[in-house]
Structure 1
């Protein structure tokens, strides 16, 4: 088991492989964040301008935390 873990952790990646992996992981995360934000817009109703943009983008990035907060606040 430790040999497999050591082999996995010692794998070297090129920068392009690392960036490709990040993009592959970021696309579904961002899509779920956009869908979640569009279906939970009650906190954005009174905001305007830069506050609205920052809060909207923050909701997309922080959707897992906001989902947990919605569950525990009800």
Structure 2
């Protein structure tokens, strides 16, 4: 098990490979966040302006925490 971990951690990536990996992970994460935010907009009704934008973007970024808290509250 330790040998497998060493082999994985010793792999060297170029900057382009790292950027590509970040993009491949960020696209599905962002899409799920947008879908989550668009289907759970009850907290956005009373907001406007900058507060609305910040809360909308925060919901997109923090969707895993919001799913967990939504499940735990019901």
Superposition TM-score, scaled by structure 2 size: 0.96
Match of 1:61 in 2: 61
Q: Displacement of 1:54 after TM fit? A: 0.3
Write out per-residue CA displacement over residues 29-66 of structure 1, whole angstroms, 9 at most, x where no aligned residue.
Answer: 00000000000000000000000000000000000000
RMSD, aligned α-carbons: 0.7
Q: Displacement of 1:4 after TM fit? A: 2.0
Report the Cα distance in structure 2 between the residues aligned to 1:58 and 1:34, rounded to whole angstroms: 10
Match of 1:44 in 2: 44
The answer for unaligned runs of 5 or more in structure 1 is none
Moved over 4 A (4+): none
Which deviates further from its counterpart, 59-68 or 2-11? 2-11
Report the Cα distance in structure 2 between the residues aligned to 1:11 and 1:17, rounded to whole angstroms: 12
Correspondences of 1:1-74 after superposition (within 5 Å): 1-74=1-74
Superposition TM-score, scaled by structure 1 size: 0.96
Report the Cα distance in structure 1 between the residues aligned to 2:69 and 2:8, rounded to whole angstroms: 35
